Amino acid sequence: MTTASEYLQRKRPNEATCDVLLNPALATEHARLRAEITDAEAEATRTNDRTPTITAARLKERLAELETNIRAETVTFRFQGCGTLRFREMLDECPPTPIDNRSGLDYEAAKFGPLLIAECAAEPTFTLDEARKLWAEWTDAEVSRVFNTAMAANRVVRDVPFTRDATGKTGTSERNSTTAPHEESHTGIS
């Protein structure tokens, strides 16, 4: 018979990942090229002219090159859950400010966010100073994506896909084990 100790040794940390494009201008260019391709293909269909077809083919070549650049400029952040005790310790280290309280947060976002990122980042790893720099310099949307991924590594339960939970439902999706942070504003400021 397997013991609890054996299960505890086998348990792996929860993980969550997100991708961040380091050069957002590439995404804008991608959308522009896709629109030009669509327009050229529509023009070719409407006019039965070869010129828009040739233009679309050239644009598709540029799009393929751009997508190679986008892949090169995309970083995948991988976070691992830090365990309930450490997570609670970090929350205790960062009590909410009055603004955070009004926003429904149970932590001071500006302190807890970088601390959580530094603690849970598995790849790439972050020092606390690097996480603070990310928090200070990246856009709110980018920081929210990274922060919410670190939160998910700690607060999202992964269901076993082919078993039934206590409600009798088959586990087919992730569910939050507690209230998730608001993605639109990790800082609590709308």
What pLDDT is recorded for position 155?
A: 93
Pure H helices in 11-49: 25-47
Neighbour order of strands in the sheet with 121-123: 15-21, 74-80, 121-123
Q: Which pLDDT score is estimated for 47?
A: 87
Give the start-end residues of each E strand in 47-118: 74-80
- How many whole angstroms separate alpha carbon 81 and alpha carbon 93? 18
**pLDDT averaged per 10 residues in sequence order, the chain, 190 residues:** 89 93 96 94 85 88 96 97 96 96 95 98 98 97 97 88 67 45 43
What CA–CA distance (Å, rounded) separates 92 from 40?
Answer: 58
Q: How many CA atoms lie within 13 A of 52 on its CB side?
A: 14
Task: Tell me the whole-structure pTM to 2 decimals.
Answer: 0.76
Which residues make Cβ contacts (< 8 Å) with residue 94, sequence separation at least 6?
107, 108, 111, 112, 115
The residues, ordered by sequence, that sit 6+ positions from 104 with a Cβ below 8 Å of its Cβ are 182, 188
Q: What is the pLDDT of residue 66?
A: 97
Q: What is the pLDDT of residue 129?
A: 98
Amino acid letter at 118?
A
Query: What is the structure's pLDDT at 172?
Result: 52
Give me the domains of the chain, ranges plus CATH numbers. 12-23+74-176 (3.30.2220)
Rounded to whole angstroms, how far apart are CA atoms 119 and 14? 14
Q: Give the model's pLDDT for residue 89.
A: 97
